[in-house]
Chains A and B, each alone.
Chain A
Amino acid sequence: MEANNQRINMEEYTNSQKKQKPVILLLDTSGSMGGTFASDPSSKISQLNRGVRGMLTDFAKLRTLSCEFFISIITFGGNSARIIQDYTPLKNITWHDLEAGGCTPLGDALNKAKAIIEDETKLPRTNAYRPTVILMSDGIPTDDWEDAMKRFTQDGRTKKCDRFVASILGGMEGSQKREAEETLAQFVDDTTTRMFKGENATDICEFMSFMSNSVCSSSTSTNPNKTPIGNLQQEVRTNSTNISDDWGSNENYPNELSFADFDPKDFA
């Protein structure tokens, strides 16, 4: 058999590229995200920054991984959505804290995310697991979002993504709150297992920390397509506290974070 081993070198015949675990973040950076609640002095945007930093750091810490995280971050604030991080391996990401301002162009963000996910040169069907798409918003969209939402959730590859939403509607009441909730609920197939309804700024961080933990768990399992979650609302409340404590406060982190030379051993 030794002779056979020498005659075929499988490295020449196999694709050694690591498989992709795509995570797409759609983040509301509208003006209202700069606001605070009476019960919670931290702003929503600062908690969002903390949450995303923590999530990316958690991803980078994972050592045993059958796949590599590929991330895209799209913000919707101002007059249009912005791809602040095009689809790329985590190691290529340099995170800069976000600032809040302007409107809530969710439809534009959905269109931009859809264009990325449908692109098979970026997410090859033979090399990319089902993307996890996380939408976080605190208000009612201000652009023409209905068609974009329908296309995203009902057509093509985006329909098959693992979609989650966090609505942080603590500042709203009555019909306005209901409208915002109903709008965001359209993003997911099942509001029990896929929608988190938060009230305060710190809920954003709790949600992000829980999602980070869930995505990490699924990515180290034998089936990275499946994010195992029961009742999302309950599970975020139960399981996120300890994890988010690990992330520290905003003051403990620089507002720029690079993952190029990130060594998981530093966190052992």
Chain B
Amino acid sequence: MKRKNNKCILGGYSLRGGAHIQSGTGRQDHVLFRRTKDCCVCVVADGLGSCKHSRIGARSICEAVLYTALAFSRGGIEGREQEFIPALVRLWRCMIYPLGESECSTTCIFAVAFKRGKVLLGQVGDGILFYEYEEEASPLCEKEDDFLNLTHTVCSDLKHWTLRLIDVGNKPFSLYMHTDGLDIIPAKRRELLQKCREIIGSGSGASAFIKSLLLQCRTGDSDDITMAFMRLNDID
């Protein structure tokens, strides 16, 4: 489904992995994208396969980002961005209660576009948020763990979060984010974003388009694959 106004296009999709289909287990990833009158929110989360209620954890963190963004949009994000993650994690803990954090472990990647051109990007754990703004095209952060899937989660110390506030004003800004079920070649990330922008900007349904990309990547033994897209300010 496409969400479009004069300033923002959002879309996303979460595909159950081939390995989960074979084993009869449910999807543990989650995606949320929502445009409200005060902000646009895009989140992907990858519930840890080893945790009993990671699916609840993943869904809850996506919803918690939305509610936290709504709360912060009332007073403006500027100067308060460092308070965002502590508030988010506290809310997530309340939302998963009475389940414990360790039962609901999940990664989280989000983007919130506030009024007055402020975009807040955040990430903890695996996956990639790749954005392009003016001449800059880069991932929010690169993996620092020693091995695959040895990852930080929402439950980890707050210092493991990466947070960036960008003042994009009225300039074009676009990004995609995905969980680690997808492994995009680093040298091809920018090209893929440009292609997505081109196609989604031409009026096709953003989420259906993302689903079509993900379906190409699903194999019989793949993990869940989740991707979301956001485009600001240069909408036709």
Q: Using an 8 Å CB-CB cutoff, how does the interface string of B218-233 with A read, 1 for contact, 0 for none?
A: 0011110000000000
Interface residues on A, range: 20 to 34
CA separation between A225 and B223, bound complex, in Å?
14
User: Interface with B: A10-18, A88-96, A191-199, A202-210, which one?
Assistant: A10-18
In the complex, chain B residues 185-206 whose Cβ is within 8 Å of any chain A Cβ? 185, 188, 191-192, 195-196, 199, 204-205
Write the B42-61 contact mask toward A (1 if CB under 8 angstroms, else 0). 00000011100000000000
Q: Does B216 lie within 8 Å of A223, measured CB to CB?
A: no
Partner of A222, one of B19, B145, B146, B220: B19
Q: Are A10 and B216 also in contact (CB < 8 A) when A4-B204, A221-B49 are?
A: yes
Q: Which chain B residues lie closer than 8 Å to A127 at the CB level?
A: 148, 183
Verify if A1 is at the interface (C-beta below 8 Å from B).
Answer: yes
Known: A15-B185, A225-B147. A4 touches B209 (CB 8 A): yes
Would you call B195 and A7 a contact (CB within 8 A)? yes
Interchain CB contact under 8 A, A13 and B192: yes
Would B19 and A66 count as touching, CB distance under 8 A?
yes
Residues A10 and B19 in contact in the complex (CB < 8 Å), given A66-B222, A125-B145: no
Cα A156 to Cα B146 with chains together (Å): 9
- From the candidates B22, B184, B205, B223, name the one contacting A14 in the complex (CB within 8 A): B184
User: Beta-carbon contacts of A85-108 to B below 8 Å, as 1s and 0s?
Assistant: 000000000000000000000000
Cβ contacts under 8 Å, A223 to chain B: 48-50, 149
Q: Quick check: A160 and B184 within 8 Å, CB to CB? A: no
Give every chain A residue within 8 A of B28 (Cβ-Cβ).
222
CB pair B147 A160 closer than 8 Å: yes
Give the distance to chain B from A20, nearest Cβ to Cβ, in Å. 8
Query: Are B199's CB and A4's CB within 8 A?
Result: yes
A225 to B145: give the CA distance in the assembly, Å.
Answer: 13
Residues of A within 8 A of B188 (CB): 12-13
At the interface, is chain B mostly helix, strand, loop or mixed? loop
When C-beta atoms are compared, the residue in chain A nearest to B211 turns out to be A1
B183 touches A125 (CB 8 A): no
Contacts of A9 in B (CB 8 A): 216
- Total A-B Cβ pairs within 8 A: 96
Residue ID in chain A nearest B17 by CB atoms? A222
Of residues A9, A11, A126, which shows the largest number of chain B Cβ atoms within 10 Å of its Cβ? A126
Which residues of the other chain, B, contact A160 by a CB distance below 8 angstroms?
A: 146-147, 150
A245 to chain B, nearest CB (A): 28
Q: Are A4 and B25 in contact (CB under 8 A)?
A: no
Residues of B within 8 A of A11 (CB): 216
Return A182 CB to nearest CB of chain B, in Å: 28
A201 at the interface (CB under 8 A from B): no
Tell me whether A226 and B50 are in contact in the complex, defined as CB-CB below 8 angstroms, given that A7-B195, A13-B184 are known contacts: yes
Do A129 and B208 touch across chains, with their CB atoms under 8 A apart? no
Partner of A8, one of B149, B182, B199: B199
B162 near A: Cβ within 8 Å?
A: no
B165-187 interface bits toward A, Cβ cutoff 8 Å, 1 = contact, 0 = none = 00000000000000000111100
Contact B22 A1 (CB under 8 A): no
**B150 — which chain A residues lie within 8 A by C-beta?**
130, 160, 225
A8 to B191, CA, bound (A): 11
* B73-119 interface (Cβ within 8 A of A): none
Q: Least Cβ distance of B104 to chain A in Å?
A: 15
Residues of A within 8 A of B199 (CB): 4, 7-8
Q: 9 extra interchain contacts, Cβ-Cβ under 8 A, other than A14-B217, A129-B147?
A: A1-B204, A1-B209, A7-B199, A13-B188, A14-B185, A130-B148, A157-B147, A222-B25, A225-B148
